Structure 1
Amino acid sequence: FRDINFEPEALSAFGASLEDIRRRLHATDSEGQLLVGADVVIAVWRLTPGEGWLASLFGNVATVPLTRIAYDRFADLLYAWNRRKGRW
């Protein structure tokens, strides 16, 4: 993990700005591919012992579109809340 507050340029090679990173989770996989939003959460669940069932449930072909929509709405609310609280 890298803290964007200390390394805001960490994902600049992917064209991700500080505001992009604050709005959605960003990560790179073992092959260097950029993951954003719900895809990051699903990837973390896949790698976390005992959490693979969450990745199977929310990351399968049928449910991943809904997972992404739900994540995006939650991320929008969290971003707005942090802005209102003056955190950024």
Structure 2
Amino acid sequence: MLAKLTVWYNTKCPVCNAGIDGQRNRLLRTVRAGDVEFRDINLEPGALARFGADLEAVRRRLHGVDAAGRLHVGADCAIEIWRRTPGDRWLGRLLGLPVFRPVARFAYDRFADWLYGWNRRKGHW
């Protein structure tokens, strides 16, 4: 069993919100057990200040903190979510491998940058 993961995301982004809602539904038992918690950064803008992550950083990329206090950002956070999701654990293990993790980070970061820009242009704040 993996340690609890608390994930902060931007509920005002329609794409982010839909993605997390879908993931939450797949993780229902895990969420109910308290192994993963999803939180709206807009309600807690200073929640990750101790890591130097402000509201805009979380609006740009997912941020998660595990029970040991380790911060997981972007693709690393997505990998940690998938590692806890029934049916997606294989994806988390695969993308977490040293050979695939840099590719996952690159792809995630390019999409996150595009999505952040789109949200700013559409006024999703």
Taking only aligned residues, the RMSD between alpha carbons, in angstroms, comes to: 0.9
- Per the alignment, residue 83 of structure 1 pairs with 120
Partner residue, 2:19:
none
User: Cα distance, 1:56 vs. partner?
Assistant: 2.2
Distance 1:2 1:74 in 2: 21
More strand by share: 2
Q: What displacement does 1:49 show? A: 1.1
TM-score relative to the length of structure 1: 0.94
1:52-67 paired onto structure 2 within 5 Å: 52-67=89-104
Deviation at 1:75, TM superposition (A): 0.2
From 105, 112, 118, the equivalent of 1:68 is 105
Partner-residue secondary structure (3-state), 2:72: strand
State the alpha-carbon separation in 2 of the partners of residues 2 and 52 from structure 1.
Answer: 22
Equivalent position to 2:45, from 1, 4, 8: 8
Among the aligned pairs, what percent are the same residue? Answer: 61
Output the TM-score relative to the length of structure 2.
0.68
Matched length: 88
Match for 1:47 among 62, 69, 84?
A: 84
5+ residue gaps, structure 1, are none
Q: Which runs of 4+ in 1 moved over 6 A?
A: none
